[in-house]
Amino acid sequence: MSKSHIRLNKTTREWVIYAPSRQKRPQDFKQINLEESDSHYCPFCPENEDHLEPVILELPNPIKQGWQTRVVENKYPVLTPDTHPNRKMNGIYVTMMGYGQHEVIIESPHHNQDIATMPLKAVETVLETYHQRYLELMTAHENMMIIIFRNHGKKAGASLKHPHSQIIMTGIVPQHIRLREREAQRYYDQWARCLYCDMLYFELHTETRIITENHSFVCFVPFAAEVPFEMWIIPKEHQADFGSISSRQKADLALILKDALGRLYRKLNNPDYNYVINTAARYKAEEPQVHWYLQIRPRLTTPAGFEIGSGMNINPSIPELDAKFLRS
């Protein structure tokens, strides 16, 4: 198959995406050094637009002189919108076409910038871009889930040094997200309270894992952090859906996200990391048990055989000590 398709693993109920177009990416066939990547050849840099996919959305920089963010289709998409999400049988197995959408958010015209080092107003523009694309993509009935994520550094899967994030929209909801929703539902059915709100209340009162907070958000190392220096940024107000974020919250999220990544940048010498916005799947956006949050996972360790075989993570770092180090 030349186009993406998706298969269901019957033993785990997890979907697996097969994306042949990704084989065309040069970094899949040779080692790359992101530090040596040249802005002269970077398709995201100004004046290299002839190498860029058509621009879907462009927002101006804070002084209204030129652009700050651009959204383009991914040149090597995991999923594409020119098909449908209908399932079909292949013997005893379930498969479907690779329906979805894959976009890139170019976060700055400057090749060597990063969220941690950008002006705050520029970070606010990045989050405004996330929000606008999220709302637009969620208008189609077939779109079930949107993942907004950022890969920083080679170990995190970044293929270009130029600052960028990605959005992938799918017509399915992965099993691990359904599991997270079911656990939240089980807790709510038992206690009539949001699990994440209760976690947040406990963290704010114990304070041992809190890193920083502002009017709208709290940043902390989770009690059962799976990797060293993992951080969650959670809205204080109960919200299931990232799409419900207000203008005030966007400004506060920019402030606390820049702060959190700045701590990694300064204290851990700019480590590779991933962050992802975990938000409600479609039709869960107004339910009282779901609570969206932004998760930051530094790439400081490598999963080995036990982790792969057991599904358990081994974290050599203690969350309370990680929080103290990042907070100090």
Contacts of 210 (CB under 8 A, 6+ apart): 203, 204, 218, 219, 220, 323, 327
Strand order, beta sheet including 93-97? 14-18, 5-9, 93-97, 87-90
φ/ψ of residue 143, rounded to 5? -80, 115
164 is catalytic: yes
Q: What six digits make up the tokens of 271? A: 């480590």
| Residue (of 157, 21, 42) closest to 100 by Cα position | 21
The residue from 5, 102, 164, 291 that is catalytic is 164
Quick one: DSSP state of residue 281? P
- Quote the strand ranges of the chain, DSSP E: 5-9, 14-18, 55-60, 67-73, 87-90, 93-97, 100-106, 145-152, 164-170, 210-213, 217-220, 231-235, 273-278, 293-298
Q: What six digits make up the tokens of 283? A: 């039709």
**Catalytic residue ranges:** 164
